[in-house]
Amino acid sequence: MSETIVSRLKEHRTFAPSAEFSAAARVTSHEAYAALYAQSLEAPEEFWRQQTTDIVWRKTWDTFCEWNLPHAKFFVGAKLNVTETCLDRHLTTSARTRAAIVWEGEPGDVRTLTYFELHREVVRFAAALADLGVVAGDRVAIYLGMIPEAAIAMLACARLGAAHSVVFGGFSAEALRDRINDCQAKVLITQDGAYRRGSVVPLKQMADKALLETPSIEKVIVHRRMDDGRAPVTMHEGRDVWWSDALSRPASEQSMGLARRPDAFDAEHPLFILYTSGSTGKPKGVLHTTAGYLAGAHVTTKYIFDVKDSDLYWCTADVGWVTGHSYIVYGPLSVGAACMMYEGAPNFPDWSRFWSIIERHGVSILYTAPTAIRAFIRAGDEWPNKHDLSSLRLLGSVGEPINPEAWVWYHTVVGKGRCPIVDTWWQTETGSVMLTTLPGASYSKPGATGLPFFGVEIEVVKDDGAKVAAGDGGKLVIKRPWPSMARTLFRDDERYKQAYWSQIPGVYFTGDGARCDSDGYFWVVGRIDDVLNVAGHRIGTAEIESALASHPSVAEAAAVGKPDELKGQALVVFVTLKSGQVASKALKDALAVHIDKEIGKFARPDQIRFADALPKTRSGKIMRRLLKEIASGTAQGDTSTLEDLGVLASLRASDED
């Protein structure tokens, strides 16, 4: 049987939720989903009014949506403070004493914060921030590991109306510096060190390096995570303050008052900026605003994760990525969920760690990434099989396409065939999930993401914007604005227009290729722009290339992806050297270290290949397709536009090591 027939047959393999799961779910049937979906498109305002009654509106909106392509405003005229929905409203219900965060450190320490305690900490920290001069409209950079303080810091900023910009702890000092400078952050919140796979990541030391060149920063708040001198810290007089000292000083009455009874902000007030990779070297500062973002995170969490009071929900992402923003912090807290949070690596001290956390704490909803699932498959079934996973009732996947084999393993070995899997497709820019299946309503197909979420009008189109036939591949576009969409790129509206709204007239282009089958299920293939998805991390090829080009030995570099069993895509770079420079193992190592320094260890290439020249078209464009084929070892395609055929032979000879 041909491969396409096999894969078509696989498309028809479906997994329906059990009758028991459906009966208890928020949406109990496909028909109910379809009816609500139809309402969300036909009467959007009514839909969002009904679905956002749990949001604490200090003032309701005058106009639901203002759409001036490509700029949207939602809930215009409304006033709210996001943290009242995430925290204060739970203080008058049984959620008050429920765990908001059950946190486990990598060394095994455990801390639980109830909604009451989380609220208290956020108020105290917001007062401290206000005392340090943070006011509404400011930007605050957050460079923390996976500790409850990350959520506390984000929420304290939101409480004051200061936009946070969380920088993933895996980013280097240089990457932190650039992000701080781009958003002109006034305050940086960091920690002495973070545990990762048994060692300590010296965040404050790295921040100190960044802070040599960040004139906008006035104050640095340092949380102490290490108590054994494992991450020595130098405090910079007049600038650096320990988190605990900031809290122990009595906040001024004014700051305390503001933290306790926070201001309400306009629906379109900036909530956060999050940097993500695009097709140029400079990261994009995706801007999300208050009401629409919260509405998106809230409603998706409610329906997709179907969270109940009895659940312990665990999203394994890092708060430094958008998944952590929407599905560790804002979404789950807005529905009053009890959230598991884990500091460290999935394989520390061994591959049991996730399963042991699930067993010991009773996690019932697990939301993780395909790259992690594939690593678990490789590590072996004995690890999950050693643990009692019977508390699990729902599984989720995010970040990249999940291959059917990984899906089936997740379903069988982790979910024991009992738990529906929701595959969720979305992006930093969409703010919340756009494609999925609702767990009690529709069947899943391994490998397909699923159906549009409420309010999402999404299609696969050709370059001219015409819809392709069912089953055909094309570009994935979103055809109408939705509440949690990015409003712009911070201080770069031109790039916002150009990156998302210029390729296909009138619609938002996601950068992904996809197809939609005859059942209406979307299959997302992956990026079709110059962006790679390596182990669930979005990496721009241009970013890698400009980092390499800044090394004194490098003349030119081209970065491409190649399929990788574990990471989805692996990063391969081709490098040409300046004259007089000699290709060597030592130089390869130096270039790898250079990438660590410029971007972060997670962006380290899987292969560095030296070449005499890069393949170019006659007009001088690097032929990436060709490089991709060479990196993947697949047959050579059309080389008719290649300028210098001799280049090919030498590239192929530039083996991996």
Q: Kindly tell me the burial class for residue 542, based on how many C-beta atoms sit within 10 Å of its own C-beta (0-12, 13-18, 19 or more).
A: middle
Site membership for ligand WT7, residue 524 (CB under 6 A): yes
Site membership for ligand WT7, residue 526 (CB under 6 A): yes
Which residue number, 147 or 286, has a Cβ lying nearer to ligand WT7?
286
What contacts 638, CB < 8 A, 6 or more positions away? none
Site membership for ligand WT7, residue 255 (CB under 6 A): no
Site membership for ligand WT7, residue 424 (CB under 6 A): yes
164 with 158: CB under 8 angstroms? yes
Which residue number, 524 or 651, has a Cβ lying nearer to ligand WT7?
524
Interface residue with ligand WT7 among 423, 459, 545, 629 (CB under 6 A) is 423
Of 483, 607, 455, 457, residue with least CA distance to 544: 607
Which residue number, 84 or 318, has a Cβ lying nearer to ligand WT7?
318
Site membership for ligand WT7, residue 568 (CB under 6 A): no
Question: Taking contact as CB under 6 A, which single stretch among the options 332-340, 491-499, 525-533, 602-610 is the one that binds ligand WT7?
Answer: 525-533
Site membership for ligand WT7, residue 285 (CB under 6 A): no
Site membership for ligand WT7, residue 511 (CB under 6 A): yes
Site membership for ligand WT7, residue 352 (CB under 6 A): no
Which residue number, 226 or 542, has a Cβ lying nearer to ligand WT7?
542
Of 452, 398, 495, residue with least CA distance to 36: 452
Rounded to whole angstroms, how far apart are CA atoms 230 and 195? Answer: 10
Site membership for ligand WT7, residue 533 (CB under 6 A): yes
Which residue number, 321 or 410, has a Cβ lying nearer to ligand WT7?
321
Would you list the DSSP string of 21-79?
HHHHSSS-SHHHHHHHHHHHHHSHHHHHHHHTTTS--SB--SEEEEEETTEEEEEET-E
CB of 376 to ligand WT7, least distance (A): 18
Site membership for ligand WT7, residue 359 (CB under 6 A): no
Site membership for ligand WT7, residue 449 (CB under 6 A): yes
CB of 328 to ligand WT7, least distance (A): 12
Rounded to whole angstroms, how far apart are CA atoms 437 and 42? Answer: 20
| The residue to which tokens 């299920």 are assigned | 521
Tokens of 287: 């801007």
Output DSSP code: residue 215. T
Which residue number, 454 or 523, has a Cβ lying nearer to ligand WT7?
523
CB of 457 to ligand WT7, least distance (A): 17
CB of 224 to ligand WT7, least distance (A): 31
Q: Which residues partner with 199 through β-bridges?
A: 196
Phi then psi dihedrals of residue 255, to 5 deg:
-65, -40
CB of 176 to ligand WT7, least distance (A): 18
- Element of type H or E holding 650: helix 646-653
Site membership for ligand WT7, residue 442 (CB under 6 A): no
Which residue number, 304 or 338, has a Cβ lying nearer to ligand WT7?
304
What contacts 147, CB < 8 A, 6 or more positions away? 103, 105, 191, 194, 223, 225, 341, 343
310 with 362: CB under 8 angstroms? no
CA 456 to chain centre: 19
Would you list the DSSP string of 280-312?
SSSPEEEEEEHHHHHHHHHHHHHHHS---TT-E
Rounded to whole angstroms, how far apart are CA atoms 480 and 378? Answer: 41
Interface residue with ligand WT7 among 174, 240, 343, 512 (CB under 6 A) is 512
CB of 323 to ligand WT7, least distance (A): 5
Number of residues binding to ligand WT7, judged by CB under 6 A: 23
Residue ranges in 471-510 that form contacts with ligand WT7 under rule CB under 6 A: 510
Site membership for ligand WT7, residue 356 (CB under 6 A): no
Site membership for ligand WT7, residue 365 (CB under 6 A): no
DSSP-based helix, strand, coil % in the chain, nearest 5 = 35, 25, 40
CB of 399 to ligand WT7, least distance (A): 5
Q: How, if at all, do strands 265-266 and 554-564 pair? A: unpaired
What contacts 654, CB < 8 A, 6 or more positions away? 574, 609, 610, 611
Interface residue with ligand WT7 among 51, 301, 428, 442 (CB under 6 A) is 428
114 with 100: CB under 8 angstroms? yes
Which residue number, 278 or 455, has a Cβ lying nearer to ligand WT7?
278
Amino acid at 491: R
Site membership for ligand WT7, residue 426 (CB under 6 A): yes
Rounded to whole angstroms, how far apart are CA atoms 310 and 598? Answer: 44
159 with 138: CB under 8 angstroms? no
Which residue number, 267 or 539, has a Cβ lying nearer to ligand WT7?
539
Question: Taking contact as CB under 6 A, which single stretch among the options 139-147, 410-418, 420-428, 544-552 is the one that binds ligand WT7?
Answer: 420-428
Which residue number, 224 or 604, has a Cβ lying nearer to ligand WT7?
604
Which residue number, 188 or 398, has a Cβ lying nearer to ligand WT7?
398
Residue ranges in 377-406 that form contacts with ligand WT7 under rule CB under 6 A: 398-401
Which residue number, 51 or 432, has a Cβ lying nearer to ligand WT7?
432
Which residue number, 105 or 399, has a Cβ lying nearer to ligand WT7?
399
Rounded to whole angstroms, how far apart are CA atoms 187 and 133? Answer: 9
Question: Taking contact as CB under 6 A, which single stretch among the options 104-112, 139-147, 422-430, 573-581 is the one that binds ligand WT7?
Answer: 422-430
Which residue number, 383 or 425, has a Cβ lying nearer to ligand WT7?
425
Which residue number, 40 or 444, has a Cβ lying nearer to ligand WT7?
444
CB of 397 to ligand WT7, least distance (A): 6
Give, in order, the Cα–Cα distances in Å from 143 to each of 147, 165, 301: 11, 9, 25
First to last CA, the chain: 38
Site membership for ligand WT7, residue 538 (CB under 6 A): yes
What contacts 6, CB < 8 A, 6 or more positions away? none
CB of 427 to ligand WT7, least distance (A): 4
Site membership for ligand WT7, residue 452 (CB under 6 A): no
Tokens of 449: 């993401």
CB of 529 to ligand WT7, least distance (A): 9
Which residue number, 21 or 321, has a Cβ lying nearer to ligand WT7?
321
Binding site for ligand WT7 (CB under 6 A): 276, 321-323, 398-401, 423-428, 449, 510-512, 524, 526-527, 533, 538
